[in-house]
Amino acid sequence: MKLLTKMMHLQEQHGAVTDAVLREMSKAESVPLYRLEGLRGFYPVFRATPGRKMRVQVCRDIVCMMKGGPQFCNKVKSVLAGVSDVEVEEVSCVGRCDTAPAATINEVPVSGSIETIAAYATGKKPLPSNEPTATPRRWPTDPYSSEEDRFGALKKFLKPGDDRQRDEVIRILKEADLRGLGGAAFPTGMKWDLTRKASGAPKYVVCNADESEPGTFKDRVILEELPHLLIEAMVLAGWMIGAKQGIVYIRHEYAKERKALQQAIENARRAGALGTKIFGSDTDFDLQIFVSPGGYIMGEETALLEALEDKRGEPRNKPPFPVNHGLWGQPTLINNVETFAAIPIILERGAAWWAAQGKGNYKGLKYMCVSGDVARPGVYCVPWGTTVDELLTLSGGIPDGKALYAFSPGGASTNFLPASRRNTALDFKAMQEAGSGLGTGAMVFMAAGRDVLELAISEVKFFRNESCGKCVPCRVGSHKAVDLVEAALAGKPQPDLVSLLQDLNSTLAQTSICGLGQVALAPLMSVIDSFPEEVLPHLQGSAGMRN
């Protein structure tokens, strides 16, 4: 963490990590220059030369494209073309899909029309505050009615020298059937138990707060409004597995949320919930925040670990898995923000209470990101088992009286589904049976009239752009798929194009090292399957050329 953190600081100081800065750092740290150059070239946050005074980064991905149009960034560039101290560039999702079209100016989030963004960039309008909210909302997964009541689960379970308490926590988590809510859905109680029993020391607890998939922003809200729950759960995890150090790996665009988390960490230390002899127990545990130098691939847990070890964030081959061989080769427990944040209320109120919050046979509460063609985009905490249609109604329905045409239920990595599947429950298995997945819990609604092929291609391009390049299938296959489709849309389709894409998709799914390559073509293949009447004529060259 030392090298990447220092490079981030040097960029803040100099405006870039220039060749001269790298040479000085190489001497000061006794690190080969080629290694530092490798880090600078891999992570998108680093620049080799300083930019202009105002740096406008405009999101190009699915939700912002829906709200601003595919040429939104070019229009912003055109409006600001004559301004000497402003530069504009397209970037991948900035995690603000609820305010699309979204952009950042010097890493301060902004949104609105082209004219509004231009006014921010030229100083005609002051930039919005980048401070955390002073009035966080009351969420149903927070068991504490006041700041004084917090950390009740910690106080209940951290009993000196009593291993039966650890057994009880594992039992409750397994009975609650809490699963990883970052997309993998691995049973949380099992993961905690496996890491607890793994041999080796020191052990580590890591929170993956690097949500970067288009449509996904729930962890951002939890970090800002419920950081105390994340902290409490990470301390419990440290006590459970015998770790003394926790790390929150957070994306660099989340400056506001980082401030909220840092303040909550300081409050927890003052309250005795972090540090040594926590609440009079024999448990020592502390937290630090690591700011990601960028890249969607860092959401893959082993790529994240590589970054924490000051390496290029390329996924590792598995096995071994992090529970046995994680950070610095030691047992490491990794969960995402929402998973950790659910644990205090489960331990405070019990597995039976958690189960009762769901609908029918479904257990618990689920945070869902809602964006796209919907009246009230945002984060909603709903019972597991809520249907897609109920979530749509809760978020205000489709504007302008339009009908629902399609939806993507779990982020860019999940298949598009037609409106006929709107009664599917929000549940991992139910969504899989419907032909998609719940993924990161990122629901993007699409109204009648939307070009689903255009939207699917935008997601394939996202994966192409974000591939780390380590494995050939992903690096080459994602580019090839985009090239084939764009050629077809230009009126030059390959013979048997759909068959070629199916073969390519199968190859990527079976041979890519990590999940990025394995799902890179999923959005495209799903619209071919679910909307053949609309999509196939374009891929077969019978619908005319597109501009």
DSSP single-letter state for residue 134: S
Rounded Cα distance, 258 and 23, in Å: 30
Rounded Cα distance, 501 and 524, in Å: 9
pLDDT the model gives residue 405: 98
451 by Cβ neighbours in 10 Å (0-12 / 13-18 / 19+) ranks as middle
Contact 296, 208 (CB under 8 A): no
Rounded Cα distance, 354 and 339, in Å: 14
Q: Which helix (H) or strand (E) holds 460?
A: helix 452-466
CA distances from 253 to 45, 109, 256, 388, 501 (A): 10, 8, 8, 29, 34
pLDDT the model gives residue 175: 97
Q: How do residues 480-536 score in pLDDT, each as one tens digit? A: 999 999 999 999 999 999 999 999 999 999 999 999 999 999 999 999 999 999 999
pLDDT the model gives residue 543: 59
pLDDT the model gives residue 507: 95
pLDDT the model gives residue 184: 86
Q: Given a cut of 60, is residue 545 above it in pLDDT?
A: no
Q: Which helix (H) or strand (E) holds 447?
A: strand 442-447
pLDDT the model gives residue 546: 55
Rounded Cα distance, 249 and 49, in Å: 26
pLDDT the model gives residue 540: 86
The pair of structure tokens assigned to 442 is 């990122």
Per residue, the 3-state secondary structure of 350-377, as one string, reads CHHHHHHCCCCCCCCEEEEEEEECCCCC
Q: Given a cut of 80, is residue 541 above it in pLDDT?
A: no
Q: Given a cut of 70, is residue 464 above it in pLDDT?
A: yes
| Residue in the block written with tokens 């009035």 | 135
pLDDT the model gives residue 159: 76
| Amino acid (one-letter) located at 5 | T
Contact 290, 3 (CB under 8 A): no
Nearest by Cα to 207 from 309, 92, 140, 288: 288
Contact 472, 540 (CB under 8 A): no
% pLDDT > 90, the chain: 96
N-to-C CA span, the chain: 46
Angle at 392 between CA 390 and CA 393, to 5 degrees: 65
Q: Given a cut of 80, is residue 99 above it in pLDDT?
A: yes
pLDDT the model gives residue 285: 98
Q: How do residues 284-333 score in pLDDT, each as one tens digit? A: 999 999 999 999 999 999 999 999 999 999 999 999 999 999 999 999 99
The pair of structure tokens assigned to 402 is 């339009």
CB-side neighbour CA atoms (13 Å) of 280? 4
Q: How do residues 238-295 score in pLDDT, each as one tens digit? A: 999 999 999 999 999 999 999 999 999 999 999 999 999 999 999 999 999 999 999 9
How many Cβ atoms from other residues are within 10 Å of residue 492's Cβ? 11
**Interstrand relation of 332-336 and 204-209 (parallel, antiparallel or unpaired):** parallel
302 by Cβ neighbours in 10 Å (0-12 / 13-18 / 19+) ranks as buried
Q: How do residues 134-178 score in pLDDT, each as one tens digit? A: 999 999 999 999 999 999 999 999 976 668 899 999 999 999 999
Nearest by Cα to 434 from 381, 387, 383: 387
SS3 260: helix
CA distances from 411 to 161, 183, 420, 519 (A): 43, 9, 19, 11
pLDDT the model gives residue 234: 98
Rounded to whole angstroms, the maximal C-alpha distance in the chain is 73
Q: How do residues 381-401 score in pLDDT, each as one tens digit? A: 999 999 999 999 999 999 999
Average pLDDT over residues 458-467: 95
Query: Which segments of 456-495 are extended strands (E)?
Result: none
Among 110-114, 182-186, 521-525, name the one with the lowest average pLDDT. 182-186
Rounded Cα distance, 409 and 411, in Å: 6
Contact 403, 448 (CB under 8 A): yes
Rg (Cα) of the chain, in Å, rounded?
A: 23
Nearest by Cα to 267 from 231, 238, 317: 231
For the entire predicted model, the pTM comes to: 0.96
Please report the domains of the chain, with CATH numbers, ordered by start residue. 2-42 (no CATH), 54-121 (3.40.30.10), 153-207+219-346 (3.40.50.11540), 357-447 (3.10.20.600), 452-539 (1.20.1440.230)
